[in-house]
Structure 1
């Protein structure tokens, strides 16, 4: 027979209401009483009925974490940090941790909406959406509608690695932990320009993603500042030397070959992220080109393998674990929202051996 709340109360010599207060942590209880209740819980191996608690309260013990691809190190690092913070204290009886459920959307806008609906049905205590947003008015409106309903039921909503939610002023209360993708990309391209590169190829991510747009904008801002904008004679190749693809290694491989076809005298390639950069490096090697002697290569994110690549990869560092931890604290209400509801995570240029001045002068 399952142990009930009344059984715990009888063992501890208190009322059922007091047991409930101790387990929920929502009402002051004396230290000695709390210890008696927790000892009774452990002795009887009492397990809280999560469904009953969810019905009695506004939300459940569940926090949903939406990622594009949990196998991608970028999202894996974010999800791991989020899960650790969300579950902190869960191993202790009466602890404050909750159950983090990682929802893998596969980059599908439809899957993202479906998961938000399912989390609403489960009365999730929190929802964290990670990674770039799909830039579609229809999809943005649909996401907003679901977030409005979630917020109305008491769910804390955090965007991590996304731009702030735009739209009507009466939208849901959302806290945003965004990354300085534009500034990081600008500094990365400035680094290549300072080395003397002028024919720079760019492997961008999917067209519809906000991260893709922001990083590409930063790249082109740096070119324009050096008089290499697409509307100038010397910078006319900026648009021609941009290839879009997925955020993965095969996309980088194919894009590098396409860029070399368009401009055989290419001296540098900027990749959408570090995984794409690995594909770029593989394609260059297969073409008999040396990195960085023939072509310099740069990535973005500073994923764990970047320092061990051969040559070590120049990239832009995003403190992903730190960002995930911060988003987890916000989702759990352990940290106050930043002013205006938006916190920007700064990025850092990491220069390694994959970039060097072009061999041919005046290139």
Structure 2
């Protein structure tokens, strides 16, 4: 016979309502009381009745996570951390783990809205939207409406790695942002301090919030060293998509232009691997001839030869925080926005520019 909520409450010495609060995770419960309830759940083998909970709360135990590309290491690290924090084996989740459903959008605005509609139909208990936002006015309006509708129905929504949305105050919508602009600024300053003045930039696609912030930080650092330098480097900027092959093609295009450069900054680490491949194919040494840097600090960065200078984005920390926010185990700040710092990781792929030789 299945263990009941009342039996768990009696075993823990608390009321059934307290057990319900602990299992739902959205209410404050004293640490000692929470521990007794979680221990009782484990000892008795209590399994929550998901359909009944869904009917009572108008939501399910399903948490939908929207990503651009499931094969991209950026999203893989973030989602893995989030899923571990939501799973049944996570601390504080005994008997009340959440089912994480990952939805890939391939960067298509229509797909993003379609997935949100499906999650609303499934009475999702939470939604996390990850990665850069497509900054098209029509899509932003539609997305804001969809998110507000989900939240007004009791579904917490977390925007992770993207800008906040202008939803009505009081709705359970929070933002976990990265200091992309500051990280890009520090990376450009690192290269300028080394002596580089001809810095190429392989940027991401236009209209993506992450790329906009990173390029803005990069340009702000250049502007501090003079208008002429900023304009020279602007002419060495190439727009591309966020794949390794795109970084390779963009670097080939830069080399064909015949304009000299001593450093290349890539929109992210995946693009940077393509940059490295294109340079080496032309016999250009890294960093002796050209320095290369990326962004994100994916695990592959320390395994490249030389190891890649990059900006660390705290993806694991963001996944954990998003999990706590979407289950209301942690309350957001008053403005709903938590900005996580980025960190410059200087490695072997950057060095002072060569003297007397240009690529």
Residue 38 (structure 1) shift: 5.4
Residue 77 (structure 1) shift: 0.4
TM-score (norm 1): 0.86
- RMSD, matched Cα: 3.1
Residue 4 (structure 1) shift: 7.0
Q: Distance in 2 between matches of 1:291 and 1:107?
A: 32
Q: Distance in 2 between matches of 1:47 and 1:95?
A: 6
8 Å CA contact 1:63–1:125 kept in 2: the answer is yes
Q: Distance in 2 between matches of 1:258 and 1:93?
A: 51
Aligned counterpart, 2:180: 181
Give the 5 Å matches for 1:260-279. 260-279=255-274
Residue 56 (structure 1) shift: 2.5
TM-score (norm 2): 0.86
Residue 91 (structure 1) shift: 10
**Structure ID, larger Rg:** 1
8 Å CA contact 1:62–1:101 kept in 2: the answer is yes
Q: Distance in 1 between matches of 2:38 and 2:61?
A: 23
Structure 2 SS opposite 1:293:
coil
Query: 1:213-268 CA deviation, whole Å, 9 max, x = no partner?
Result: 000001110110000x4xx3x44333321111111110110011111222442111
Query: 1:61-103 CA deviation, whole Å, 9 max, x = no partner?
Result: 1111111111111000000011111124479996232111111
Q: Distance in 2 between matches of 1:93 and 1:216?
A: 40
Long gaps (5+) in structure 2: none
Aligned counterpart, 1:60: 60
Structure 2 SS opposite 1:236:
helix
Give the 5 Å matches for 1:199-214. 199-214=198-213
Aligned in 2, Cα 1:240/1:119: closer, same or farther, shift over 3 Å?
A: same
Structure 1 SS opposite 2:335:
helix
Q: Distance in 1 between matches of 2:66 and 2:320?
A: 15
Structure 1 SS opposite 2:306:
coil
Long gaps (5+) in structure 1: none
Aligned in 2, Cα 1:57/1:139: closer, same or farther, shift over 3 Å?
A: same
Query: 1:30-73 CA deviation, whole Å, 9 max, x = no partner?
Result: 99x9799959964xxx8654334312322111111111111111
Q: Distance in 2 between matches of 1:4 and 1:308?
A: 51
Q: Distance in 2 between matches of 1:99 and 1:179?
A: 26
